[in-house]
Every structure is written in C-alpha cells, then in structure tokens.
Chains A and B, each alone.
Chain A
C-alpha cells in the first residue's frame, strides 16, 4: 500500500493561534493511544476537498512522549492550491479523518553534542517536538526563531518560558535578525545544525555555515515544497496503458492516483525520493521542482518526482 499504514482519528480541538495559524489536535477514533514518534516527524493528512483528494504533510508539533493525541499547526496560504484553506475553513472538532503513521525526514542526530536550531515562521513546528524530545530525554539545544511580528510568532512565549536562556526570538517588524556568523562561530565541536523555514532563509543559513567551514553532514534542513500550480499537461502512463491530464491545481502524483494507478510515495513534498519515476519519453521540458534528484539527473530528464514536478511540451511518457 502506498504511503504506508494509516491512523483513523477524530479532530478533538481546533485553536486559532493567530491571524495566520490554526492548531489542530487529533485523537484516535477507537479511543486507543496514538503511536509514539520521534521529534521532527510529520504526518500526511488526507482531505476530501469537494471531490479532490489531497494529501498534505504537516510536522507534528506535540510532545513525542504524549500518546494521548497529535497536534499540528497549519499556516493559511491564500494563494496556494487550497489545502491549508480547506484545513482552516472546513475542519471542525468532531470530524473523522485519516492520517498517516508518523514519518521522519528531519530527525535529530542523536550523537550530536548539541543541537543548534534555526526556525523561520511556521518552520518552528518540527522544532517543537524535537525540543520536547531533547528536554525529556536529555541533551543540549539552542533555538533561534524569526517571525514577522510578535503577534505572528506562534509559541514564542511558551518556548521562552519553558526554556530560559536557550530560546532567542527575532521580529522582522522590529528589524531584528539573528547574528548568524557570530552564533555559528561559537558552537562546540560535535554540534549539528537544523534549519526550517522559507526557502531563502534556508539557503542563507546553509551557505553561511558552509562558508565558515561547517561540515556538510552536520547541516540538516527541511522544506516542504507545495506541489505548486501550472498549465495543464498530458501524460502517458506506459505500464498502466492510460493517458491522463494533470490539472492546474493538481500535482502529477495526484493525477496518477486519480486515474486509479497506485504509485509509491512518502513525504509528498519533493524530499524523500520514494516517488521517483522513470521517464520513457520526453518531448518537451520537465519542470523539476524537487530536492531529491541531482543537478545531472535534472538535466538528463530520465527521472521525475511526480509529487512536485510538472511538464510543458508535446509528450511525456512515464513508467507507471
């Protein structure tokens, strides 16, 4: 079964955190305990948006040791494909939903002497479960968290109170930002760095660290790429002998699934490699939007990541 084991849950609570962010709490439909999970995990939430089936990944922000329920925070995106809008506008307490077992593509390196965390905006969410894990099981961490304003800085107050001295907050509207070079120069050998937030911020942090001599394998980041929209295009599925049209607001993976073809996937965000598909014929341009294939593979166009990438041109034939 693609995507793995599923959990049947009930929405226990919906909380408006601020004008952009809502928090959702899920408990097990059968009243049992949720599976424990590792900090940094996400779950893939299945939505039936008026006939369109969406599966969106959201980081688990609750304490991994708390098996009474899971919590996620969703930032409303008014110009996206509609997944976050659906969550904000249509999900209410009492509803039954299906979510995946937790999957972790942003795990702490448990050998690290210290975890240095850099978060921007909604990128704070995976760090909440990671910090709970480190605090509960022992370990050193330091968090630098940037948000547009104090109002939009979800959870800053709770974190600062719970972990005095280890949490540093910066507000864009007060022209504050982390003195990254200074922070990076002061870390003991064996520190690992984790960054999650807007794409530009991730690039800035990783480039600065590399230029200061940080080892590549001590740098970790997570960026969920929304599948994005684009012009519709036609795709031939050679193995299933089907031809499909991928709609404007539909990802290639979603279109394959809508045609009844069971394609492998895991993160649905261009990062994990599990949906990698062979390209049999390509007359046109593949618009690679993933973080999995190498630049060479992007140039060769023999592989595509259907969860986030698209196509423009005459024909695209895939081995599905």
Chain B
C-alpha cells in the first residue's frame, strides 16, 4: 500500500506528503495502523540506516480499523519503540517526550488523519512550525468531526450525514479543517427543515 490520494478539495483541507529521512539529533515517529508501512519505507531510504535507528523513538497504536503492524515496526530495531493500545493513551507519552526534546528533533507522522492531526496539534503547541512536521497518510479515511453547535468531537466518523455523539444533532461533514482542533467541521443539516435528513452514505472508510 502506498500513500492515500485524496480528491482535490478546498484550501483548508490538509494535504499530505511522503516521509523522507531528514537530518536530526532525534527522530520522533508517531504512527497508527497502516502508517507503520510508511515508516518502514522511509527508514529504507536513509543513507545510514543504523545511525538513524540509533536516534529514533517510535510511538505506535493500532488503526481504527484494527490494523496492528507493531511486530514489523518493532523489528526495525529503533532505539525506543512503544505500542499504545489507543490514541488517548499515546498522547501523554508523546507529551512527556516533547517536554524534554530539543531543537534538532525531526518529526514523522504516518497513518490516519485522526492520529496525525492530534499528534501535530500537540507538537505545534510546543512552538514547532507545523509545516516542518512531515506527514504521510495511509489507511482509514474516517474523520474526527467537531460539531460547531456543541463543540463536541465525534471520533471515527464514516457516515455523512451523521448524529453528533454529544448533542444528537444531525450533522453534515465539511472539508473545512482546523489544525488547532485537529478536526473537520460538522454543521446541522436539517436546521432550515427540521427532520428532513438525507439518507447517510458511507463517505469515509
């Protein structure tokens, strides 16, 4: 599997690239699901693989669709490898690593938008420019969606429209994305004609 190709959308919709090895005193890798394969591909491109792995810390969690490639990732032999069961358990570990890190740390994110978005949000908060955080999308396209009405975020949204998991309003999913919140925007679809909700389609998988 290679990186996901997304249809061209509005300018606030994130665009992802392909991970490349870059110089750094520490290589901090955060990935989920099929993103593990992107990390393996990236390491294979390194000029001095042993040197890169000796300075690498990988934090990994299975994808929302259940894909778990921890075995392959751990086999790379990075200096540190950690598998969290879920994203909420991964983020505190990331926060602690960021707390002690110095400039000269390279960041590599791979996998779903939900994982990459939340990791990017937390890394940005330390003052690291978001554009210099490499991101490659692989695997599921399910979305984190913030309900603009109650501010609640619904995870792993596959249907459009869907019901907000916090306030119950019927929401349609926009491509408008906030890096600060790491979520797409959901807006009430039947505000003008309450009860008139088009049938949901599976838009993200």
Residues of A within 8 A of B (CB): 111-113, 184-192, 210-218
Contact = CB atoms under 8 A, between A and B. Distances in A.
Q: Give the 4 A-B residue pairs with the shortest CB-CB distance, closest first.
A: A190-B127, A213-B24, A215-B132, A217-B129
Contacts of B69: none
Contact of B25 (A113, A210, A213): A213
B106 A189 contact: no
A112 B132 contact: no
A185 B127 contact: no
Contacts of B98: 189
Given A111-B127, A189-B128, A218-B128, A213 B101 contact: no
Given A185-B25, A218-B132, A213 B127 contact: no
Interface of B: 22-25, 98, 101-106, 126-129, 131-132
Contacts of B24: 212-213
22 contacts: A185-B102, A187-B103, A189-B102, A189-B103, A189-B128, A190-B126, A190-B127, A191-B127, A192-B127, A211-B23, A212-B23, A212-B24, A212-B25, A212-B104, A213-B106, A215-B129, A215-B132, A216-B129, A216-B131, A217-B129, A218-B103, A218-B129
Given A191-B127, A213-B24, 5 more contacts: A189-B105, A192-B127, A212-B104, A213-B103, A217-B132
Nearest to A192: B127
Which of B23, B105, B127, B131 has the most C-beta atoms of chain A within 10 angstroms of its own C-beta? B127
Contacts, number: 59
Contacts of A113: 126-127
A202 B178 CA distance: 35
Given A212-B23, A213-B22, A213-B25, A189 B101 contact: yes
Provide the main secondary structure of the chain B interface: loop
A190 B25 CA distance: 15
B98 to A, nearest CB: 6
Contacts of B22: 213
Contacts of B101: 189
Contact of A112 (B25, B102, B105, B127): B127
A51 to B, nearest CB: 48
B80 to A, nearest CB: 17
A117 B126 CA distance: 19
B132 to A, nearest CB: 3
B23 A191 contact: no
B103 A184 contact: yes
B23 A215 contact: no
Which of A112, A187, A190 has the most C-beta atoms of chain B within 10 angstroms of its own C-beta? A190
Contacts of A215: 128-129, 131-132
Contacts of A186: 102
Nearest to B131: A217
A63 B126 CA distance: 29
A111 B24 CA distance: 23
A189 B101 CA distance: 6
Nearest to A112: B127
B42 to A, nearest CB: 15
Nearest to B125: A190
Contacts of B102: 185-189
A216 B130 CA distance: 11
Contacts of B128: 189-190, 215, 218
Which of A188, A211, A213 has the most C-beta atoms of chain B within 10 angstroms of its own C-beta? A213
Contacts of B132: 215-218
Nearest to A214: B103
A181 to B, nearest CB: 10
Given A211-B23, A213-B25, A191 B103 contact: yes
